[in-house]
Structure 1
Amino acid sequence: MRPTQVTERRNDPTSSPLDERQWGDGELVITIDGPAGAGKSTVARGLAARLGFAFLDTGAMYRSVTLGCLRQGVSWDDASAIGRVAGRVEIRFEGDRVLLDGEDVSAAIRSTEVTDHIRWVADNAEVRALLGGLQRRAAVGMRIVTEGRDQGSEVFPDAACKIFLTASPETRARRRHAELAARGQAATYAEVLSAQIRRDQEDASRPVGALRPADDAVIVSTDGLSEEQVIERLVQIVAARALATDPNAE
């Protein structure tokens, strides 16, 4: 697999909640994990923008590999073939766009078909090792917000700040149902909720990269909160963690 490219956004010292003297200007990783539908990607992207950091959407990486497998007609029972696809494809991020081998697949990777098959990719030990290594290389020397299922617990165990974002299955199902409706994809709320509960059970029992909060993660529930309220809460958590890590803090 060729290197994933991400673009760093430098902090605006007039608006950043972080004092450069606290964490310096070197590599700094903030991880956001949580169950499907908790709003991780949207909130992580918003937090990165507020902090002036780069953003790494690891879920999009797994979805891109899944789309590649679908297009190549790979058998889901053939773990080695799935691993070979992951090793060949090129995934790049350009702003909010996700490119698979140069093609913008930002919408295609969010399809129901990709969602229904992503578990075969996400449960593949070879793929997780490949993508985990790629994610770590993408973060070298960067100030970055990265989100996924195992970023704080597995990929970046030494991250400066770890957040576990969650919400009730009902709240997450309502969000997913609205998202599908906006894309013109037919599904009832009951169907989405049932799939959400099944996905939660599967994610928690994955053989590799199982969904769990890191021991030192801050758990944040998004129930009843707007997107902006969640981002503001995370900014406060990051700023507090920066202060707690500052050797010059009184």
Structure 2
Amino acid sequence: MMNKIIIAIDGFSSTGKSTIAKLLAKKYNYIYVDTGAMYRAVTLFAKQNNFVAKDFLNKESLISNLKDISLSFKFNIDLGFAEMLLNGVNVEKEIRTLEVSQLVSKVSTISEVRKKLVAEQQLMGENRGIVMDGRDIGTVVFPDAELKLFMTASADKRATRRYKELIDRGDKVSFKDILFNVEERDRIDSTREDSPLMKAEDAIGFDNSDMGIKEQFERICALVDRRIL
């Protein structure tokens, strides 16, 4: 019988963490949790309630209203992955906009927000057999995960991927804005006081600037197999 493990995937924005995580969850019949979607949903809540804007953050009001935020995932059989629900409402499309992307790092620096979401994420992984991606999974959420990966790629390559994704979806965006957002999120994520983005000592680094999904997936599956067999 194969062991069930925790697979923690961390790294910079737009490095394909979620794509790889979904493929792994499907192959090994694991639960997939997109922690970035959770932070985006809290950001959407803050935006809807005028707690955050491009040049504004009402930290105290957001903290006092965290109790009113309920997050859950609902599996969409047609899409093949779970979508994000905020207080019972599917917000998968709304949380993927550039506007939310520009605000999420600001909201995720708040310690009280991180504490609430980390506790929920740790509960999800109690029975193992889970693939989770984010910024602090291997360092904070699951420091004892059996497999930790840290994904990187050049800012230009990541911005190109994100730009194509949004254009294909029909969004009107400029590459310049996307590149700025990627670089700004890197800066905020890496320098925040609470759980900054960093590679765990025992994490395996993956620079996929010039690596396709197929090659990445095959290499990572080999690492998973060594740990579960």
TM-score, normalised to structure 1's length? 0.83
Partner residue in 1 for 2:78: none
With 113-122 and 149-158 compared, the bigger mean Cα shift is at: 113-122
With 31-40 and 81-90 compared, the bigger mean Cα shift is at: 81-90
Question: Do 1:47 and 1:235's aligned partners in 2 also have CA atoms closer than 8 Å?
Answer: yes
Describe the SS at the equivalent of 1:184.
coil
For residues 42-53 of structure 1, what are the structure 2 equivalents within 5 Å?
42-53=19-30
Structure 1 residue aligned with 2:61, among 65, 81, 89?
A: 81
Partner residue in 2 for 1:35: 12
Query: In the alignment, does 2:179 pair up with 1:193?
Result: yes
Structure 2 residue aligned with 1:117, among 66, 82, 103?
A: 103
Structure-1 separation of matches of 2:86 and 2:119: 18
Describe the SS at the equivalent of 1:238.
helix
Q: Which amino acid aligns with 2:58?
A: D
Partner residue in 2 for 1:232: 218
Report how many residues are paired.
220
Question: Do 2:135 and 2:197's aligned partners in 1 also have CA atoms closer than 8 Å?
Answer: yes
Structure-2 separation of matches of 1:109 and 1:180: 12
Give the deviation of 1:77 after TM superposition: 3.1
- The runs of at least 4 aligned residues of structure 1 exceeding 6 Å deviation read none
Partner residue in 2 for 1:55: 32
Q: Which amino acid aligns with 1:92?
A: S
Partner residue in 1 for 2:93: 107
For residues 170-189 of structure 1, what are the structure 2 equivalents within 5 Å?
170-189=156-175
Structure-2 separation of matches of 1:118 and 1:84: 18
Q: Which amino acid aligns with 1:123?
A: T
Distance 1:191 1:73, change over 3 A: closer
- In structure 1, runs of 5+ residues without a counterpart are 1-18, 244-250
Structure-1 separation of matches of 2:91 and 2:112: 23
Partner residue in 2 for 1:14: none
Distance 1:191 1:113, change over 3 A: closer
Query: In the alignment, does 2:199 pair up with 1:222?
Result: no
Q: Which amino acid aligns with 1:220?
A: F
Structure 2 residue aligned with 1:203, among 161, 168, 189?
A: 189
Structure-1 separation of matches of 2:67 and 2:216: 36
Give the deviation of 1:141 after TM superposition: 1.2
TM-score, normalised to structure 2's length? 0.90
RMSD value over aligned CA atoms? Answer: 1.6
Question: Do 2:101 and 2:181's aligned partners in 1 also have CA atoms closer than 8 Å?
Answer: no
Describe the SS at the equivalent of 2:57.
coil
Partner residue in 2 for 1:145: 131
Describe the SS at the equivalent of 1:37.
coil
Describe the SS at the equivalent of 2:171.
coil
Structure-2 separation of matches of 1:56 and 1:41: 9
Structure-2 separation of matches of 1:126 and 1:143: 27
Describe the SS at the equivalent of 2:9.
strand
Give the deviation of 1:188 after TM superposition: 2.4
The structure number with the bigger radius of gyration is 1
Distance 1:183 1:240, change over 3 A: same
- The percentage of aligned residue pairs carrying the same residue is 34
